[in-house]
Structure 1
Amino acid sequence: MKRSEINALIQDAKDFFASFRFALPPWAFWAPEQWKGKGDSEVVRNQLGWDLTDYGAGDFDRRGLILFTIRNGNLAARHPKKYAEKIMIVRENQICPMHFHWSKTEDIINRGGGNLVIELYGSTPAEELGNEPLAVSVDGFTRIVQPGGKIVLTPGESIFLEQGMYHRFYGEPGKGKVLVGEVSSVNDDNTDNRFHEPQARFPEIDEDEAPLHLLCTDYPKYV
């Protein structure tokens, strides 16, 4: 992805969050030079902040995700914080590909805007898509979902995803962008994503202009 495209998407995300009066921490708006000397911080060590990916597909509008990690622990460093929180924007028909987590459990929450469609499968011992129905908790009530079945979350609704539960999601066509929250156990995108079809988690960046704000993957270069 070009840095100019990333900058434009971050600016759009800031405007979208503001339209819902969802406030980010002050360091979300720091310029790159303000990060110098901040390497020994929870933000940098635990990869908090701006995160954006096209999953290596080169077509962000069709297959991508922009999010901001607000808080997170660190399993490798035995950080005392055992939870994480993210805020995301999912566009109409913009797919977050099929995956599960070995360690993380999570609530996915529609915080506002359009509707969020989540497709679900269980997983086999060989980590393939399962062919058995799933019992899933939607706002604390159990629903039975057939393999590949869909749950549509309207604003205010949430779903609990267990370890090993394959899921992909996208915004329902015609309903607009979705403000999506995630509350979970500790998040580790380097080791805890099992994509059904192997793909990149973080983008390769063409530095055609300077960063507006740093992505969490930019910290090693700038701090």
Structure 2
Amino acid sequence: MKRSQVNQIMRESDEFIRSFGYIMPPFAYWSPAEMQARKAEIANIIDAGLGWDISDYGLGNFAETGLFLFTVRNGNVDDLKKGTGMLYAEKAMISRENQYSPMHRHNLKAEDIINRGGGTLVIELFGDTDGKCDRSKGTVVHTDGIRRELEPGHKLRLAPGESVTLMPNEHWHAFWGEGGDVFIGEVSTVNDDNTDNVFEDPRISRFSGIEEDEEPLHLLVSDYPKWLG
């Protein structure tokens, strides 16, 4: 992705999210220079991977296959082993109309996916067999606490205010917006995007490469190693 495209997506996404009365934390709006100047204060932001995250899944067509994310809070994976501490995470996401987020599952993360507003969120679901997406296998989910048995490939449609709980190593899922862009909330156990996403298509990568055609408006989480060490 070109940095100019990333910068424009940031502007558009912030405006869209604000239209629902949701405002991201102050550090979201810091410049790269301010983040560098305050590096000693923000070890938790860096280590937890908090911040902007825009991906075309390595396929080079964000409008067709992509996702906007902002990680608002995130705990430590080591706390999961201890069973105590900050065991949760929260993200704000945008799935644009007909913009596909590819079929995947998680190794550790259980998540509630919430339609916060906009269009309908469509989630396609399959079961798992031996760690692989089994397109002949249905699944069981809970939507706002209600148990639902779904056929293989069921396309679950969530209207604004509705949510679904997805479990690790159990629910293979892909999603997109229908009838408009969708503001999505994600509440989950601790999240590690470097290791916890398993994609059905081996070509998929979680993070995008960046072509630097202009200065960054704000840093992406994937920029932190280069810019902040």
Judge which range, 121-130 or 77-86, deviates more.
77-86
Choose between structure 1 and 2: higher strand proportion. 2
Alpha-carbon contact 2:133-2:172 (below 8 Å) kept: no
2:71 matched residue in structure 1:
69
Superposed displacement of residue 130, structure 1: 4.8
2:62 matched residue in structure 1:
60
Mapping 1:137-216, distance limit 5 Å: 137-164=142-169, 165-172=171-178, 175-198=179-202, 199-216=204-221
Distance in 1 of aligned mates of 2:53 and 2:79: 21
State yes or no: 1:45 paired with 2:47.
Answer: yes
Give unmatched runs, 5+ long, in structure 1: none
Distance in 2 of aligned mates of 1:134 and 1:34: 46
Alpha-carbon contact 2:125-2:138 (below 8 Å) kept: no
Taking structure 1 as reference, are residues 126 and 110 closer, same or farther at Cα in structure 2, changes over 3 Å only?
closer
Distance in 2 of aligned mates of 1:77 and 1:44: 17
Superposed displacement of residue 88, structure 1: 0.4
**Matching residue's letter, 1:67:** L
**CA deviations over 1:45-79 (Å, ceiling 9, x no partner):** 01000001000111001000011000001215879
Task: Find the partner of 2:134 among 129, 135, 155.
Answer: 129
Per the alignment, in what secondary structure is the counterpart of residue 52 of structure 2? strand
Distance in 1 of aligned mates of 2:136 and 2:189: 27
**Matching residue's letter, 1:26:** P
Give unmatched runs, 5+ long, in structure 2: none
Distance in 1 of aligned mates of 2:23 and 2:186: 16
Judge which range, 79-88 or 208-217, deviates more.
79-88
Distance in 2 of aligned mates of 1:5 and 1:133: 38
Distance in 2 of aligned mates of 1:124 and 1:77: 28
Alpha-carbon contact 2:54-2:69 (below 8 Å) kept: yes
Distance in 2 of aligned mates of 1:153 and 1:92: 14
- Calculate percent identity across the aligned residue pairs: 50
Alpha-carbon contact 2:79-2:85 (below 8 Å) kept: no
Mapping 1:74-89, distance limit 5 Å: 74-76=76-78, 80-89=85-94
Superposed displacement of residue 82, structure 1: 0.4
**Matching residue's letter, 2:85:** P
2:22 matched residue in structure 1:
22
Alpha-carbon contact 1:139-1:158 (below 8 Å) kept: yes
**CA deviations over 1:29-48 (Å, ceiling 9, x no partner):** 00000011426521110100
Superposed displacement of residue 129, structure 1: 1.7
Superposed displacement of residue 183, structure 1: 0.2
